[in-house]
Amino acid sequence: MENNTIIEGDIIHRGAEASLIHGFWFGKEVIFKKRYPKKYRIEPIDKKIRVSRTLNEARALIKVKNYGLNVPQVFEIDVNTSTIIMKYIEGEKLKDSISVFDNQKKYEIFNEIGRFIAILHQNGHIHGDITTSNILITPNEDIFLIDFGLHEYSDSIEDKSVDLHLFKRVLISSHGSDFNICFKAFIEGYLSSYELNCSNEGKYIVRNINSIESRGRYVKQVERK
């Protein structure tokens, strides 16, 4: 995909499902997220899967952007090459920058992330891969959520709890020394968003995290036996 107005540059990330390519689109600095064919899948099935996942992710980004949340703006969807062309966001992954913030700033950032995820959940979106690698902090300290490749639609309390549980596990495994302040701030922000809408659902979702963890411990105990 290259002509006078569309220029693909270097691959900046190569994932299991898609690659991110830096470039330009009609003068705008962009990221091309391209899903390449998988040789181990039957070609028509592979094409259908790639197109479906590309459309799902792009449509989710467009909807979430309309809620006023910070996600990359989608400029174009190319179903022929299973590519999303989206605005390039200058920033660092939270995973790489968290250590430079003091505790007050960490609290503010994770509290905001909690409110962000709550708005997603209240509108029936499950991100599916909330990690500090999928959160960018811009030079102006704006927070962007990226990579909706595992996005699903659901109003299930269980699915929303799983979304939070996975993020909790990421914080424990990757940011153990900051876990207590960061997860506390995240949950407080999450619950505050539900409370603004006079909804108790947030409490049930958070409470269900313990249930998910208990089931996990039970499974591990059975496996050891």
Question: Hey, which residues are catalytic here?
Answer: 129
Phi, psi of 135 (to 5 degrees): -125, 125
